[in-house]
Structure 1
């Protein structure tokens, strides 16, 4: 018998040591990087749109308040103007003018006082 034949029986051949390979299992992420990017852009756009709508609404509200204030001032001024117009009509009364003229020593002899309603410009 040869040594080669005995060797397998006598001395067991060692099998090469098996390496244990660590396998890492990749877990599927809930949201991928691309989706995160898209969601970030969309949410940023929505936030900007919300800010724009709020600022536009605020500006419109301020403008409406200013308009209401001005309308109140216009109505008040119209009331004052109407009151002054009435006073002007009272002051134009010919009888009142004659009374003021007599108080200041003016005499009117055989003439009639006429109210000038229109001024003609030629």
Structure 2
């Protein structure tokens, strides 16, 4: 009788376990393959940061070169203006050092011209 008793007890135990645990339908979870892995994402981020840094450097460098070119152009304009001014002054110097003008100014101020030959003065060298 003990074997019968054990069988009954075993079947009752199985029934209790079935009642206690509801039937759970497990679905197979598909592991989705990632399109881009973490390492690739990291590489893309590093390349993007490097690209932005190089782009910013190029823009700042070209901006500084452009500013230097503008300064050079303004200096060239000033040089040209100064050259024109120097030429005007040289022309005025020639005009004011003409012998006829000197004689006319001398007579106007009451100086007597004894010898009518007036020579233009030159630089004295030591």
TM bin (shorter chain): 0.7 to 0.9
Greater helix share, 1 or 2? 2
User: SS of 2:32's equivalent?
Assistant: coil
Q: In structure 2, what is the equivalent of residue 33 of structure 1?
A: 38
Give TM-score scaled by structure 1 length.
0.76
Q: Which runs of 5+ in 2 are unaligned?
A: none
Alignment coverage as a number of residue pairs: 119
Q: In structure 1, what is the equivalent of residue 58 of structure 2?
A: 53
Using CA pairs under 8 Å that are at least 6 residues apart, name the structure with larger relative contact order, 1 or 2. 1
Instruction: Give the Cα separation in 1 of the matches to 2:9 and 2:48.
Output: 72
Q: In structure 2, what is the equivalent of residue 74 of structure 1?
A: 79
Instruction: Give the Cα separation in 1 of the matches to 2:10 and 2:111.
Output: 156
Q: Which runs of 5+ in 1 are unaligned?
A: none
CA RMSD of aligned residues (A): 3.0
Match of 2:111 among 98, 106, 109: 106
Give TM-score scaled by structure 2 length.
0.74
Instruction: Give the Cα separation in 2 of the matches to 1:111 and 1:98.
Output: 9
